[in-house]
Structure 1
């Protein structure tokens, strides 16, 4: 008995020591993460400081140590703090697509367990630190799209496990060292200032890995038998002069573009309120004309006629936004009626054709379409009257204020919005093979107070001039669409796929927001799925939801299917509804189960993720 007691005491002492050590190590990891949060400004990281660091968004722990830190596209800026070196068990560090600057701290050499380092798409500068090449467990290194200068260090050969090396779009100079890495598969040094001949060990890499430099040798043009001599890369005086002149013109073009964008942004900020410009008196007509409905509002169906054009013109108007087809207003009339009014621009059809097309639009009746209640056609003014949607657009909720007091869009709501939008678009497509929306984007998905989605702006593409559609729609536009009016149901599917990616990632597609940066969503998502764990693409707000990752991955796959290049390979909207309905039903069942479990005092159900895990290229 005495021996057993000693064993028990020794075991308890050992476990206590281990727990104290683990807590101490996690405290050190937590301090390093907080130092990063304090140093890297930009959008605040959505971390609950009262909880364990292992529960923070982007942080993954194993045995109470931080082993992964993934914070892509979080608006981080400033310099990496030296304290990042205290994350001594870190295996993956991904800070891609932020605005971090300055040098990489030399203390990164302390991260001896690091296998994956993704720093592309930032503003890091200075030399590539030699300390990186002491990380002998490193498998993937991506420093592309930064401002690194100096040469590529020969110490790169110390990384004997390296499979990926991306250094493109920096300002590196000098020759490429003789890189001999047997496991190197992915390699790119394009668009730097490198010169000399390409080492023989890299001659099997594609041409695109070297373009945009002053290099020669396989797989590029021959070095004229000069071997590794730099003489084969000397430029003639005419070539140098051409480069200088071209550079001057490029700088001038960039300056002119920046001045133009600043001017437009300034004009946008000064216009915070506008009014609906009343039609000319000759257009409004006489009282007798109004009695017969001439030059007055034309109402559809059973829409209540509690107001007329005069009431609308007297209403107080608030600008809701400027879209592809015109400016939208919230109009509050004296009798208290509130409607949304769109003042169309660049309408190039006759009144007869306008009326015919509006009759088709007015006949569209579906719970997930924002109905057009009335229209007005005048010589100078064309107005459409819609139901007012008090929650605004999906775009505003996704990309507006996300701080304290903002409206969260959890998985259940996003799934329901996706389903509602799909049903509305599918209804349009059911009216004939030639009928397409043509302008699907998050700002045209409007929400009721219960977050029911309504698709707006349908049927308007054929009314406008082909030159009136601004470039900012391009982020949603299918690659085969060259004229804004030559859309199809398959191009609608592509746009809807972009919308799904936007819902899942929380990021706006390129040119989707005027004067704001966006992301080429399909390429961005594919790059992450190809290189890292799929979970990194999801909006941090979605990652708060438990046990939904499998469903998010399924919706992500559906979005990818919609955005394939070839139109015939995209699914039909009817198929989309079936697949999203299954996810939505699953979501509702899970929510019900969690409510019942809470009522019973039992724990929430958990769901194993058997799909969408790390692709084979991301496994160690």
Structure 2
């Protein structure tokens, strides 16, 4: 018995020594990491013998198994020798820091690694070969870095991989066939790289957003690989986008029927040329007409009244509209002679144009949003506009006109003005001023590499103030008036670095398929119906927008992280741990004299993103507080330089 007792004591002691030894090795590795990466000091109590109580460090009984340090301003390069001593790691999350260089080679020693989240840094170089030997990895996110070279088919060896994010890097070449991954691969994204060629068959069921911003062709993109230039942008007639493209037959040779077709086509081409010359001469004779084929909102309303309620069909209403328009005939696209309807303010202030001018314009895809696809259209006269092609609009023409006129009547310097619209049964187009500086989302999250212009406090506070004023104006139009889709991609930037809000009022136009999950990250907790977004829900979305401005983090990305924590909850938990200074985007840290104002704006953002609507301020209160923080910017806005 005594021998058994002594043996038991010996084994317990040996086990304790082994655990202490293992954690001591892990602790030394973490301290080496802490001393190697720059930025603000990690708040680790180095007097503790065990690292398991350190922020971001998670242990089982014997080892460190997770290292989660997202958004804590780490900078510099990851040293070799750290991960080789953290061999039991299952999760590494160093996302949204400022780490650079190549991935350390000893990462290959982490044989049980399952989750790797390194997005939002400045890692560079080609993906190392050892990465593909980490066969236990399930989630791999390397997006928003500076990785280059080709995407290797070595990913096929990572047979457990379910998430592969490589977007917003500098990868080139073609996408490899990842057929061995496809049975398990759930999430995939290579958008906004320098890739070209055809999308492999094994990946064609992935969503369209996975491939945007490259030079690719094939499904799910609309670009066909047959005779395609593999362009990601559309450069041609807008009519081809709106009215449908002709299909081409790709036969191997010229049959007799094909030759006959060529002959007939040639005759048709000659006749078409004569017709074009005839139309051109006729237009020259009628050029003294004041506005051409322009219909104002007032004239359009009169045309609808003439129809006595018959507002739903594309047939038969052409005559009614033509009776009140000026000179445009039928557009040979099956649209019944419908016209582009301008708002009267646009007719007075700007150059106007007709539907045929718009359909002849060269077009470039700007992006796909909640309510449809936006195009940059360049007209022959040099006019540049943004055209939004709406989807899921299933309301009658009369109801559409009433709602769109209410949107067009909105007039504020911080709203993107609606110039004109077009309605038919099959197509609904909205025409806006083109904003050449792009969106706040692109400014915050695009171009993370060399040549990026840092966004300082003055810029961000001015953007916040302009957006607040625009939303406050919308809310002042009535208690039931809200935006319903506030997010950074809907905040457009002017040449004077002010902000204008787009897409206001569209939530009430579209059908139920535009679900509120499309604005995940900005959506207030109580919102279940995208058609019923209250003003307090707008305030919540604006609060998330402020947090995005202050942290530099995209709310939609934080939803996909391993902790499942959205941006407001992450900020609130960090503030509770008194890490307030760790929240701000590293580009804001250069404005040290504005840190007190940044903290005040942070508190306002947290108030706006409160869980319960009655705890949130109104937009009028929000605007006043931001104005108080930005008095200098307010004076500059009120007294612009000539």
* TM-score bracket for the superposition, by shorter chain length: 0.5 to 0.7
State the distance in 1 between where 2:460 and 2:499 align. 10
- Is 1:273 the counterpart of 2:316? The answer is no
Residue of structure 1 equivalent to 2:345:
302
Residue of structure 2 equivalent to 1:540:
586
- Is 1:329 the counterpart of 2:375? The answer is yes
1:319-367 deviation per Cα after TM superposition (whole angstroms, max 9, x unaligned) = 1111000011111100000111100001021100000001111110000
Residue of structure 2 equivalent to 1:176:
none
Residue of structure 2 equivalent to 1:136:
none
Residue of structure 1 equivalent to 2:619:
573
- Is 1:476 the counterpart of 2:522? The answer is yes
Structure 1 residue 373 displacement after superposition: 0.6
- Is 1:502 the counterpart of 2:545? The answer is no
C-alpha distance 451-504 of structure 1, shift in aligned 2 (>3 A): same
Contact preservation (8 Å) 1:273, 1:318: yes
SS in 2 for 1:359: helix
Contact preservation (8 Å) 1:297, 1:375: yes
Contact preservation (8 Å) 2:73, 2:582: no
**Root-mean-square deviation (CA), in Å?**
4.4
Residue of structure 2 equivalent to 1:347:
393
Residue of structure 1 equivalent to 2:326:
291
Structure 1 residue 576 displacement after superposition: 0.4
Residue of structure 2 equivalent to 1:528:
574
Matches within 5 A, 1:51-70: 57-58=39-40
1:217-254 deviation per Cα after TM superposition (whole angstroms, max 9, x unaligned) = xxxxxxxxxxxxxxxxxxxxxxxxxxxxxxxxxx9996
- Is 1:456 the counterpart of 2:502? The answer is yes
C-alpha distance 34-312 of structure 1, shift in aligned 2 (>3 A): farther
State the distance in 2 between where 1:517 and 1:451 align. 35
C-alpha distance 335-515 of structure 1, shift in aligned 2 (>3 A): farther
Matches within 5 A, 1:380-529: 380-469=426-515, 471-510=517-556, 520-529=566-575
Residue of structure 2 equivalent to 1:215:
none
Contact preservation (8 Å) 1:101, 1:123: no
State the distance in 2 between where 1:515 and 1:333 align. 43
Residue of structure 2 equivalent to 1:87:
none
State the distance in 1 between where 2:389 and 2:544 align. 27
Matches within 5 A, 1:591-606: none
Q: 1:372 aligns with which of 409, 415, 418?
A: 418
Contact preservation (8 Å) 1:472, 1:510: no
In the alignment, structure 1 segments of 5+ residues that lack a partner are 1-31, 38-55, 62-67, 85-93, 107-120, 125-146, 150-168, 170-250, 591-620
Structure 1 residue 449 displacement after superposition: 1.0
Structure 1 residue 256 displacement after superposition: 4.7
Structure 1 residue 316 displacement after superposition: 0.6
State the distance in 1 between where 2:421 and 2:211 align. 29
Structure 1 residue 264 displacement after superposition: 3.5
Contact preservation (8 Å) 1:446, 1:454: yes
Structure 1 residue 547 displacement after superposition: 1.2
Residue of structure 2 equivalent to 1:244:
none
Q: TM-score, normalised by structure 2?
A: 0.54
Q: 1:582 aligns with which of 603, 617, 628?
A: 628
Aligned residues: 391
Contact preservation (8 Å) 2:516, 2:530: no
Contact preservation (8 Å) 1:80, 1:105: no
State the distance in 1 between where 2:467 and 2:476 align. 14
